Structure 1
């Protein structure tokens, strides 16, 4: 692979990433949460960038920042590019904004050259992907896809403010959210550029990758109940130690997922032992499980197998078991025709078109209900994300932009073949 010098695109993108990161709840910890003052300042800044790039731009009824660059004539169907501009708390600056800012930079490059395409380009900065404030994710993209659940308008944040009231305080009308929805005939496809949020591209020494699918996820909450007892007086053979049982379950989950050859991943991210005293045998332990795969059937079988193993451990140790599914999301495949065009752009920029799934969720999970989706991953240092240490090198930001721009300029809309 030949070394290439970063083009002006990379520098512009990094400068804007840094500028956007200054808009935060506090200077010490980056946080830009849905429908806050910081969120509005960020939206206004992104709108100004869209207009500078030659787009008409507006804020829709859910707070999405929407820009449109017309094609060779007004009103043509659009290729939509985008990502989100909200963050988690104590966030990194690249997760989400990289996709929005890169898409704007690509449109600006077309505009500088006076180039119009046989389709329109729309860029969307989705208002809420992370779900931090109201514990409901993909709000912006669900509104665009026409699948927004209006019942979530009644949910309240920690301060007791309802989403409905927060929208009104932001200057939006909750009654108009339906107007954000797009028809399938209006969109030729949705493509998102995003940091990988994992270490695979770095391990492969590749700046970009072609996403195959967004993995589905099942989350479960489990509790094991035994008998609490004195740490010094209960002999080991007579113990019904809930924490020891949970430890065996956690190791079993790890071993099961490690032995899988289809990319299954499993995580126990939370454990709570009660009563939580040094000299007391734990009588009850709660823990969570998060199991993901790009293949839904494989994930569901894996969840069933995992539950059976946990049941067997609980029975052998004489522990009462309770397991509940707390979250389930389908996997979302990227459209083969978009994958192939993205791969062509990657190869034309002199890189191997390496394919990999996304273990994290993205707005494409909602957008698939209104358009075929594709994704481009950009390498991030150490695979670190949702963390202030999240970082993308300037050269990689530039490579991602050049791949996206090449993809857009050579984009061929999909023509369905009647069977």
Structure 2
């Protein structure tokens, strides 16, 4: 079992780095705050008896050697960068729990066939450059030099940030791992939702990571005077848009797994006494099944077209982003289920609506995640909170899951 007090103390100490006036945390990638956080985490890795290094994209890695050093490695971890004024658990919990698990193994003399590495990925959040998961993309071998040209608000590119941090952008390919070198990746994370809280469960097993589809709907109607245009002859772009929004809600709700969100709306000309002639709105559509998500999308498109044709409104739909969902591996889910059973905890499966580093590793190795309960479902905010007890439950499940994946060797001479 992990050391609950040690894990909690480290979480609190790490939260002091990048502390904001409102009690949140701002640790953007390649800043002095992130550097300080990585240095502190590196000290914990050394305390845990791990071999510490940083790779060519800045990932901080602590290795516990296996009985077979040539065997494929089991990866576990998360990130220590944050959004602007974020919370203290999103990312750091997964990193510190991974270190804690390996430290306990070393303290108890537990050996495994496969090596295990605790990892703090570089820039998962993407808050600084509007381009995230740099570290996991690097390990997956999908990070390109062109992507390093993304800039922050001060005009500094990722490439320049690399150089300022002592990294060579020309060597990012050296961080990539081959499929035969990695056995599995498992990450502990806060849920960032209310499912576990509603079920009164401290922990859960992630079934898959939903892939976001972003669309932009543009409705072109006819501007008219609000008082002088009779209802039967109007071509109101907003009325058509509103009806389509209801269709989105209805169609997404039918599957039980899909979520659809209209987050941005533009109404023109925008006068109180003018019939809207143009409306634009965004749609964020997600599901852990690409087939289900795309079926919902097609149904929305079909009905939206019928609505607009009936109202004499022209509809254009632009695709902004289409990311494939990432189902979690049965190998990871089985190892986690066995961990829950051994610890006497109820195993509940739930999807992740948010993206995580594991999505980038899906084609590299079996990938999976564990969630712990988030108070009120709050995340990316100073009010983000998970209890000490829930953090310990999650870390214990991670500990046992990693042992299952790395294949613990029992010393028969030990009692």
TM range (shorter): over 0.9
Q: CA deviation at 1:184?
A: 1.7
Q: Distance in 2 between matches of 1:239 and 1:215?
A: 39
Q: Distance in 1 between matches of 2:19 and 2:29?
A: 11
Q: CA deviation at 1:37?
A: 2.0
Paired residue for 2:262? 268
Paired residue for 1:324? 318
Paired residue for 2:412? none
| Contact 1:228–1:281 under 8 Å retained in 2 | yes
Mapping of residues 190-201 of structure 1, within 5 Å: 190-201=185-196
Q: Distance in 1 between matches of 2:84 and 2:275?
A: 36
Match of 1:156 among 142, 151, 157: 151
| Contact 1:25–1:38 under 8 Å retained in 2 | no
Q: Is 1:202 matched up with 2:197?
A: yes
- The size of the alignment, in residue pairs, is 406
Q: Distance in 1 between matches of 2:171 and 2:38?
A: 19
Residue 405 of structure 2 aligns to a residue whose secondary structure is coil
User: Cα RMSD over matched residues?
Assistant: 1.8
Q: Distance in 1 between matches of 2:307 and 2:278?
A: 15
Match of 1:393 among 384, 387, 390: 387
Q: CA deviation at 1:75?
A: 4.6
Cα distance, 1:21–1:236 mapped onto 2, change above 3 Å:
farther
Match of 1:384 among 378, 381, 385: 378
Q: Distance in 1 between matches of 2:291 and 2:391?
A: 35
Residue 411 of structure 1 aligns to a residue whose secondary structure is helix
Q: Distance in 1 between matches of 2:401 and 2:210?
A: 24
Paired residue for 1:113? 108
Which segment is superposed worse, 150-159 or 229-238?
Answer: 229-238
Q: CA deviation at 1:76?
A: 4.0
Gaps of 5+ in 2: 408-415
The Cα offsets for residues 365-404 of structure 1, whole Å up to 9 and x where unpaired, read as 1111211112111111122222222211111101011111
Q: Is 1:124 matched up with 2:119?
A: yes
TM-score of the superposition, structure 1-length normalised? 0.92
Paired residue for 2:401? 407
Q: CA deviation at 1:73?
A: 5.5
Paired residue for 1:16? 10
Q: Distance in 2 between matches of 1:17 and 1:234?
A: 62
Residue 111 of structure 2 aligns to a residue whose secondary structure is coil
Gaps of 5+ in 1: 1-6, 414-419
Q: Distance in 1 between matches of 2:239 and 2:5?
A: 53
TM-score of the superposition, structure 2-length normalised? 0.93
| Contact 2:331–2:366 under 8 Å retained in 1 | no
